[in-house]
Structure 1
Amino acid sequence: MLENLETIDWHQLTHAYGPADDIPVLIRYLTSENTELREAAIYELYGNIWHQGSVYEASAFAIPFLIELLQNEHVQKKEQILILLAYLARGNSWHKKHQNSIFLIDDRDTPEFQEKVKIEQTWVVNARNRVYEGLRLYLNLLADADPKIRIASAYTLACLPDRAPEIIPEMLKCLHREADRQAKASMVLSLGTLVEPESKYLALFTEILHSKTSDLVKLVAAMMLTQLARNKTPQEAIAFLVNTISDSKSVAELYSQLPWADGDVVADVSRYFCYLEAESNQFPLTDLIEALSTVDAYSALTVAETLLYVTFNGKTILADEKMSELTKTQRIVLSAIAQSENTWKYDANMSQILKSFALPMWREKLLALVGGELA
């Protein structure tokens, strides 16, 4: 195992922190029976070959060895390796990702900056192509005895859309015989990501919603229906999302353990209302306003953005005179956001969300707009 690891001149390759000399040691640590060593290694790999969403020169060279580890029966926590591979497949160029940053905006149009983006884009393509090389293995792992590996392999496969015609039939077979509710939910989410909008597979998600399966699986089927069918979403799917937001107890813990979870289940579910017509009378306004204070601070940002998107019809307010024409619902939402301590724990993030709607970026100005004051 890993016989070719030392044949790579890692010192000549770079990752987020410079020369990639540490990569061989970290990859070998993933084979350790020592939990602390493995956890430290996977943490470091996230930091250097996939740093906050960006991939680097060394990333593509590390990927074949990660895939090799998945094939060894003695390697533990393979689900962590699968999820890292998924992230690497979705990686981006650091300079492209940050080109609108205030620190780089003056440089982004220079030839030097564009050359860096060009070089980094080759790293992105190389890393993605290397992850694709493990496709057959990921498909085989959909039938692994460990449900955590089945969950993770479905997640990784969702990041390989170019091979969707090959993935979908295999995943459907596994879905129909899957008994574990979290693994089944992960497969439904993967299928929803890979199939075309308004495709024949919408009937599958509708069938799941009407079946006797778990609430978790029904929830993700409703989410996928909403994402794919949009304004043609069946009312029962929308109702299931609404009910989950008002009472998430039956699914919250199970959902949070999925690699798909970006935050609190209420926040994640709220995003799907952005696919529907803004005037939908089923939008759970009161429940989402309440959620601003009950979800964690990171998830509160998602809820706030959803509330703004729906109540402002996805549009921005571009002129001062339009501020005086705010509807009652818009004022209620803006007041709730301004009053919520939770939404302002990450004040810079909240300000950026408000900026995207051309609304006052700072809490005091938002309060002044709606005529409120801090409690």
Structure 2
Amino acid sequence: MTPDVREAMTALLALPSPTPDDVDWAGFEHFYGKADDVPALLRGLPDPDPEAAARSLATLGNRVCHQGGSSAPAALAVPFLIRAAADPGVHGRENLLLLAAQAVRSDRTGQALRSDLLRAADDGDSFGDPSPEAARAAVLAGVPALLPLLGDAAPGIRSAAAYALATVSPAGSPEAAAALRGRLAAEADPVVRICLVLAVAQLALDHGDAAEVVAWAGDLCGGEVHPLDVRFAAGLAWLCVTPAAPPEPLLRLLLAGAGEAAAWMRLVPWMSQQLDHGVGAWLVALLGDTHGFPLRPDPVGWPGRRRGARWPAGALRR
């Protein structure tokens, strides 16, 4: 009988300094069979040879999170992935964080729905698999190591840290959300700012605070007070945290900004392979039939808009 990964995770996190040897990996399976090969792969992650470290990570990722799906070994690897990512001397730290976050997620890359983009796995889409729950517990335990990475010198690590923090369980949500918002105020990189906005929105959506983040996203979108990357991300966040029909100014913002946003969005972890046909085509798929606005570029711009102007009160909140 396969052990309960949640119990295994509780025991692992209770240890003061766990090692891969503290897990009965042979009791679990990944996508290629018994997980008794995982300890060696985890030990290879901090290899000083960047190529060797990359091989260990690629093999581990393929076995425990194959084709968008996760597994119990993926969850049990999360504490070690976060620990390695927090070490400045380790190679591939960004990808370590992305794999840790993937352990909590399910594959929605083929759906491209508003309701799915900012959600981690839940009981409905993980078919009762307790692995995402166990992985969330590991991310929560790793919050003290993840928060400093929001200020890392490498933008990719800051983005990946936001992506990982977006999956934290409700117990860590307020601390993570406060850190993400605080970093947004100081962040200069447009890709990282997009990730911070989406991470705040995902935490709110997952933990029942959608109404508050709808208002927050609406404030970020309004007028031209904030840079385009922040407004574009806030527009996406608004779409994903409410089923309400998007107002025309929001659609115009997304469509007018799609061209400039294309380079940014390809570096945003939430997007995965969804931009194969461009940001415009992705937006059409994301919006589906939830609007009556003609999806075509508007060369005229926003009639009547002026720099610093705000949308009418409540325009994004109905």
Q: What TM-score, normalized to structure 2?
A: 0.69
Aligned match of 1:252 in 255, 262, 277?
262
Residue 280 (structure 2) pairs with residue 266 (structure 1): yes
8 Å contact kept, 1:205–1:222? yes
Higher relative contact order structure (alpha carbons within 8 Å, sequence separation ≥ 6): 2
Residue 60 (structure 2) pairs with residue 49 (structure 1): no
Q: 1:129 to 1:71 in 2, by over 3 A?
A: same
Gaps of 5+ in 1: 93-116, 288-375
Mapping 1:170-319, distance limit 5 Å:
170-196=179-205, 199-209=211-221, 210-231=223-244, 233-244=246-257, 248=259, 250-262=260-272, 263-264=274-275, 265-274=279-288, 276-277=290-291, 280=292, 282-284=293-295
* Counterpart amino acid of residue 192 in structure 1: A
1-structure distance, mates of 2:249, 2:46: 47
Mapping 1:78-97, distance limit 5 Å:
78-91=93-106
Number of aligned residue pairs: 253
Superposed CA deviations along residues 194-220 of structure 1, whole A, max 9, x for unmatched, are: 225662333432333334544332211
* Counterpart amino acid of residue 290 in structure 2: L
Superposed CA deviations along residues 1-59 of structure 1, whole A, max 9, x for unmatched, are: x9823344434442221222321222222212333223222221122111223333433
Q: 1:203 to 1:57 in 2, by over 3 A?
A: closer
Q: 1:143 to 1:270 in 2, by over 3 A?
A: same
Q: CA deviation at 1:91?
A: 4.8
Superposed CA deviations along residues 199-246 of structure 1, whole A, max 9, x for unmatched, are: 23334323333345443322111111233354364432111123245x
2-structure distance, mates of 1:194, 1:4: 30
8 Å contact kept, 1:55–1:127? no
2-structure distance, mates of 1:3, 1:135: 16
2-structure distance, mates of 1:166, 1:268: 32
- Percent identical among aligned pairs is 26
* Aligned-residue RMSD, C-alpha: 2.8
2-structure distance, mates of 1:164, 1:4: 27
Q: CA deviation at 1:259?
A: 0.9
8 Å contact kept, 1:49–1:56? yes
* Counterpart for residue 153 of structure 1: 161
Superposed CA deviations along residues 331-375 of structure 1, whole A, max 9, x for unmatched, are: xxxxxxxxxxxxxxxxxxxxxxxxxxxxxxxxxxxxxxxxxxxxx
Q: What TM-score, normalized to structure 1?
A: 0.60
SS in 2 for 1:38: helix
* Counterpart amino acid of residue 283 in structure 1: P
Higher percent of residues as helix: 1
Q: CA deviation at 1:151?
A: 0.5
1-structure distance, mates of 2:145, 2:73: 22
Larger Rg: 1
Q: 1:204 to 1:46 in 2, by over 3 A?
A: same
2-structure distance, mates of 1:225, 1:9: 43
1-structure distance, mates of 2:211, 2:280: 27
2-structure distance, mates of 1:60, 1:217: 32
Superposed CA deviations along residues 124-169 of structure 1, whole A, max 9, x for unmatched, are: 4333322332123222322222221111111111122524333222
Q: 1:13 to 1:124 in 2, by over 3 A?
A: same
Aligned match of 1:19 in 9, 26, 34?
34
Q: CA deviation at 1:252?
A: 1.2
Gaps of 5+ in 2: 1-16, 108-126, 298-318
